[in-house]
């Protein structure tokens, strides 16, 4: 028996869409007609999201999006799965497709310079280049580039406050002899570093770079023996983490706090499958844990019947 093949497409594009709200209904209708599920965000600054369905259905939706001349160059990343990873289709209207919380930052007009994966290592090895990981703490903790600064943020919207603090006298981003430093920024798939470099340019930084295609394109492109990447990369799907060649990594997801867990984390006495881990065990009540146990029981029953079960959502995607 041949297993069904579901195609997943992750996409984003920063482009001025002042009429974004009028695109919602026809886009949703197209997705539903093609049997495609997932989430797409529309905002004045562009489109972002992940969809899945039959290869023909997903490509039809991508074609519909690209039929708008403003989205003609929309790029996407593909992955295949034996099971449908989403349970419904949502097209949401937002103020931003990735929330920074700073007005008048326009990545479609003022993002930093793209750097291809094969040129990235040489750039970040240059003296005076400040390398900043724009992802959140739980992502950085399982892997990052050698020498990268971790701003220790819990959400992307915290990054501007960190930048402001580092621009102060004595900070990592403070001017030297009256000149702001060169800055290189990176993220998982490109969307956060594209927006953060636009923000940096708005703050007066002239030489700002970001990794084209993000960490995922770098891991896909660069041989491990030549790489400055250390660890694994957190991803916003059922794989949880990937390594070089985009091979699935060792991490799984805590279904309570949704933090990534290593093999060592899963050996902790505080770890209970589907219920808790060392990161969150003390933060949930007995009643919550009992609810999680019941949910895990239902997940296992559904798996025994070869049925899908809607579990707890992951961290928000890029």
Could you tell me which residues are beta bridge partners of residue 88?
none
d(CA 80, CA 280): 32
Dist. CA 297–CA 294, nearest whole Å: 5
The residue to which tokens 């970001």 are assigned: 210
Catalytic residue among 31, 187, 193, 254: 187
Closest CA to 143 of 69, 250, 23: 250
Handedness of CA 105, 108, 109, 115 (dihedral sign): positive
178 DSSP 8-state letter: T
Is residue 22 helix, strand or coil? helix
Q: Is 193 a catalytic residue?
A: no
**Rounded to whole angstroms, what are the CA distances from 318 to 34, 119, 164, 292?**
24, 24, 23, 26
Instruction: Show which residues are catalytic.
Output: 187
């Amino acid at each position: 028996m041949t297993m069904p093949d579901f195609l997943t497409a992750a996409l984003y594009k920063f482009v001025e869409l002042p009429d974004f709200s009028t695109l919602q209904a026809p886009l949703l209708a197209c997705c539903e007609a093609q049997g495609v599920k997932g989430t797409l965000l529309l905002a004045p600054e562009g489109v972002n999201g992940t969809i899945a369905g039959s290869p023909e259905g997903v490509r039809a939706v991508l074609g519909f999006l690209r039929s708008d001349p403003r989205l003609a160059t929309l790029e996407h990343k593909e992955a295949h799965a034996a099971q449908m990873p989403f349970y419904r289709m949502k097209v949401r209207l937002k103020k931003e497709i990735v929330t920074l919380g700073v007005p008048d930052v326009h990545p479609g007009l003022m993002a930093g310079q793209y750097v291809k994966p094969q040129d990235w290592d040489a750039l970040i090895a240059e003296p005076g280049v400040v390398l900043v990981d724009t992802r959140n703490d739980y992502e950085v903790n399982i892997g990052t580039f050698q020498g990268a600064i971790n701003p220790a943020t819990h959400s992307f919207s915290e990054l501007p406050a960190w930048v402001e603090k580092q621009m102060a006298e004595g900070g990592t981003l403070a001017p030297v002899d009256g000149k702001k430093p060169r800055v290189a920024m990176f993220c998982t798939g490109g969307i956060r570093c594209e927006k953060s470099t636009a923000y940096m340019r708005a703050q007066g930084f002239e030489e700002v770079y970001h990794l084209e295609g993000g960490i995922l394109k770098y891991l896909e492109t660069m041989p491990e023996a030549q790489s400055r990447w250390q660890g694994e990369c957190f991803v916003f799907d059922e794989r949880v983490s990937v390594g070089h060649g985009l091979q699935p990594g060792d991490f799984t997801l805590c279904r309570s706090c949704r933090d990534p867990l290593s093999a060592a984390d899963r050996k902790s006495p505080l770890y209970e499958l589907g219920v808790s881990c060392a990161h969150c065990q003390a933060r949930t009540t007995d009643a919550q844990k009992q609810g999680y146990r019941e949910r895990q029981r239902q997940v296992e029953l559904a798996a025994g019947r070869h049925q899908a079960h809607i579990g707890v959502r992951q961290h928000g995607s890029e």
